[in-house]
Amino acid sequence: MTSFRRKRNFTILTIVSLGLFGPFILPSIINLGARIRQTHPFSYQWTVQQDFVSTKDELDCLYGRLPPSTASSDVEIEPIPNHVHFIYGLSNPYVKPGAGTFDFLCYLAVRSAIVGMKADKVSLHYTYLADPPAPEPNTSPLSNPWIYRLKDDVTLEYHSPEEMAALKSSPGATWQAAHISDILRLKLLQEQGGIYLDMDAYGLRPFTDLLKSPRGMIMGHEGGDRGGLCNAIMVARQNSTFIDRWFGEYNNVDLSKEWNYHSVRVPKQIQLAHADEVCALPPSSFFWPTWTWHHVEWMHQPLSADEARHWAVEMEKNGGSLYGEQLAYHAWSQMAWDRYLKKLTPEVVRTRDTRFNLMVRGFLQDDLGRRDLSEDKSCDGLSTSCRLVE
């Protein structure tokens, strides 16, 4: 009987403890499990983050070196438009709260196109932007405070739910908003040309050389293994043959394949068969550091005063980039959101030195995240964050 009471009391105590402390310890347990799963010796992430050397063809694409057949031609090639396209709000957060609303990180991405890339035009393509969310599409997009901040520098382009539904090339397949966005971005580039950025991609400096490319499509390799070309950042001419071929892969598409099959694997397959139609950039241009656990951690780890100074100097030397071949950074929100990105605010970006914060800090408008640090006794006169107020 005594043994039974002990077991019962232990069970009750365990249940009560889990009820009281579970919400606090569960995220740590999940985080630890994710770290072990993603960093064990046999993880695919080691392949993705392996070292690489940029090839001559990749560097020729990056620096706008025309192939001899084009360079010797008398035909003048029109530059690709310096027009940046973003897509957001194809799912309604009023019905599906997990879809989220256009937030501070989205604002920073758009500001990167305005400030970092010096785009001639920035278009935000949307269906739902209201904040708080509304049941009807295209309801008060300027009710979102971050959109309101951007209104003078951004062209809002509405796409109806019916228009989005019509993009489904295989009505019987399971289509998600991400799949529709994949199609819409190709359609926009095919019709208008320009640059496409995901809402977690940050343009760090102008794409001047890329816009001179004679090839119809420019994409970046994802990972040191060059296993795919990622559609999170793309540059394209109108009527690209490469995009035509890519569209063809969506006919009778099987969307049950792995999530990145059509957005990363398929363009790589087309590039291998039709290399003259696409400029394939080195991983360092758009997608390095990668999405792996250690690379995401490296981007967001706190920096010492000496480290912050070092990276500030490097960025000054590279026109806003961490290193010479980098034109943009994809923040890999699927991997970084819970650990880092969701904790960022204007003040955190402005005052805490990480590689990511240093990289995007210049995109903040002047009134965001400032506080008078002149009386802050913790400032030692060395940290970047202690030199904010002049």
Q: Which of 286, 311, 326 is the last residue of a domain?
A: 286
- Is the same domain home to 114 and 215? yes
- Is the same domain home to 264 and 342? no
- Is the same domain home to 342 and 242? no
Q: For residue 45, tell me if it sits in a domain.
A: no
Res 376: pLDDT: 43
- Is the same domain home to 80 and 62? yes
Name residues whose C-beta falls within 8 Å of residue 305's C-beta, 6 or more positions apart in sequence: 353, 380, 382, 383, 384
- Is the same domain home to 271 and 353? no
- Is the same domain home to 104 and 216? yes
Distance CA 376, CA 210 (A): 44
Q: For residue 41, tell me if it sits in a domain.
A: no
b/e string for 148-184 if b means 16 or more Cβ within 10 A?
ebbeeebeeeebeeeebeebbbeeeeebebebbbbbb
- Is the same domain home to 135 and 224? yes
Q: For residue 37, tell me if it sits in a domain.
A: no
Structural domain range at position 93: 56-286
Report the predicted TM-score, pTM, of the whole model to 2 decimal places: 0.86
CB–CB of 322/311 below 8 Å?
yes
- Is the same domain home to 317 and 274? no
Q: Which of 286, 304, 328 is the last residue of a domain?
A: 286
Beta strands 278-281 and 155-158, pairing class: unpaired
Res 7: pLDDT: 57
Compute mean pLDDT per 10 residues along the chain, 390 residues long, and list them.
60 61 59 68 84 96 76 71 98 94 98 98 98 97 98 98 85 74 96 98 98 96 96 97 94 71 94 96 98 97 98 98 98 96 98 98 94 45 35
- Is the same domain home to 202 and 78? yes
Q: For residue 34, tell me if it sits in a domain.
A: no
Q: For residue 277, tell me if it sits in a domain.
A: yes
Q: For residue 386, tell me if it sits in a domain.
A: no
- 196 φ/ψ angles, rounded to the nearest 5 degrees: -115, 135
Res 130: pLDDT: 97
Res 383: pLDDT: 39
Distance CA 363, CA 202 (A): 10
Res 250: pLDDT: 86
Both tokens of residue 128?
């739902």
Res 237: pLDDT: 97
- Is the same domain home to 350 and 274? no
- Is the same domain home to 143 and 180? yes
Q: For residue 129, tell me if it sits in a domain.
A: yes
Residue 270 sits in a domain whose CATH number is 3.90.550
- Type of residue at 127: T
- 5 φ/ψ angles, rounded to the nearest 5 degrees: -65, -40
Distance CA 226, CA 77 (A): 29
Distance CA 286, CA 202 (A): 9
Task: Give me the number of domains the chain comprises.
Answer: 2
- Is the same domain home to 148 and 275? yes
Res 279: pLDDT: 96
- Across the beta sheet with 217-221, the strand order is 155-158, 121-126, 83-88, 194-197, 229-236, 217-221, 278-281
Q: For residue 242, tell me if it sits in a domain.
A: yes
Res 179: pLDDT: 86
